């Protein structure tokens, strides 16, 4: 609890994944991705409850061993690859309030696929939400200029074109207005945002801009890259 606000962490970890089978159980520096969330949460005493939303017995077992709770299984209709974060988080919040008999003021989503997150990332996200009275706070990273929307192209029937026609006027990267992308490290969302606004973003959303390389795991290459970055960080420490 922080400033009287009860905090529920939800780690969404379904069993199905197309890029990497059972992705959430893949080892990262010898520890399954979902277990890394449990180990990190254990270092943040202010978190009142931390659960995994899963449809997998194996993920549930590993999550429990890492200190996360699995008080329910995600229903089949919420286990597909086109189910939104809003649906998963709202279901988890309503279920946990029913099971625990309390109201959770803040839901924090920690996806297993962001193994480079640190405890301060989570604490700072929640702190920013409370201090700024935001509906939600997302962690983001600045997008490399090479991946800026105005430098992207489309190909249709072998014909090349600008994704955005404004891109034809870009000569130097200094002309580009910085843009940002979700890095998946942490989302802190008010209860009212999820249940009343029915959104994980809300009308007033704060951005916690994080520095450094924060790889989100979708492929085996992402996993290798994240482990390389982690090892470099440890060598500098």
Indicate whether 37 and 135 sit together in one domain. yes
**pLDDT of 42:** 96
As a whole number of angstroms, the longest Cα–Cα distance in the chain is 59
Supply φ then ψ for residue 14, to 5 degrees.
-75, 160
Asked, for residue 1, whether it belongs to a domain, the answer is: no
Question: Domain containing 97 — which CATH number?
Answer: 3.90.550.10
Radius of gyration of the CA atoms of the chain, in A: 19
Stretch 78-91: mean pLDDT: 86
**pLDDT of 237:** 62
**Residues in the chain, total:** 237
Indicate whether 163 and 74 sit together in one domain. no
In tens, the pLDDT along 26-51 reads 999 999 999 999 999 999 999 999 99
In tens, the pLDDT along 148-198 reads 988 889 999 999 998 889 887 877 677 778 899 999 999 999 999 999 999
Asked, for residue 2, whether it belongs to a domain, the answer is: no
| Interatomic CA distance for residues 185 and 194, integer angstroms | 19
Put the strands of the sheet holding 7-12 in their side by side order: 49-53, 7-12, 106-109, 180-190, 136-142, 205-209
Contact between 205 and 139 under an 8 Å Cβ cutoff? The reply is no
Q: Which structural domain, as residue segments, surrounds residue 162?
A: 144-177
Query: Above 80 in pLDDT, residue 236?
Result: no
Q: What's the total number of domains in the chain?
A: 2
Indicate whether 149 and 57 sit together in one domain. no
**pLDDT of 33:** 96
Residue that terminates a domain, selected from 155, 177, 199 = 177
What token pair was written down for 198?
């029915």
Give percent of the chain above pLDDT 70: 99
pTM: 0.90
Indicate whether 46 and 93 sit together in one domain. yes
Asked, for residue 49, whether it belongs to a domain, the answer is: yes
Instruction: For the chain, give the mean pLDDT.
Output: 92
- Res. 53 pLDDT band, cuts 50 70 90: very high
Indicate whether 203 and 192 sit together in one domain. yes
Stretch 18-24: mean pLDDT: 85
């Amino acid at each position: 609890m922080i400033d009287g606000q009860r905090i529920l962490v939800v780690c969404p970890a379904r069993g199905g994944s197309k890029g990497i089978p059972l992705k959430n159980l893949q080892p990262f520096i010898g520890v399954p991705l979902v277990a890394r969330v449990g180990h990190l949460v254990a270092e943040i005493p202010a978190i009142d409850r931390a659960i995994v939303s899963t449809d997998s017995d194996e993920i549930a077992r590993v999550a429990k061993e890492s200190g996360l709770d699995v008080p329910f299984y995600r229903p089949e209709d919420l286990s597909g690859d086109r189910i939104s974060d809003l649906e998963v988080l709202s279901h988890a919040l309503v279920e946990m309030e029913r099971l625990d008999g309390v109201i959770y003021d803040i839901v924090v989503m920690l996806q297993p696929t962001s193994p480079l997150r640190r405890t301060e990332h989570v604490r700072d996200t929640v702190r920013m939400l409370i201090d700024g009275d935001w509906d939600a706070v997302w962690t983001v990273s600045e997008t490399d200029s090479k991946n800026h929307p105005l430098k992207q192209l489309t190909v249709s029937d072998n014909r090349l074109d600008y994704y955005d026609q404004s891109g034809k006027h870009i000569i130097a990267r200094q002309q580009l207005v910085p843009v940002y992308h979700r890095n998946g490290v942490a989302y802190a969302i008010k209860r009212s945002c999820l249940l009343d606004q029915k959104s994980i973003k809300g009308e007033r959303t704060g951005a916690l801009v994080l520095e450094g390389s924060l790889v989100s795991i979708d492929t085996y290459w992402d996993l290798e890259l994240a482990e390389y970055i982690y090892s470099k960080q440890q060598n500098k420490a």
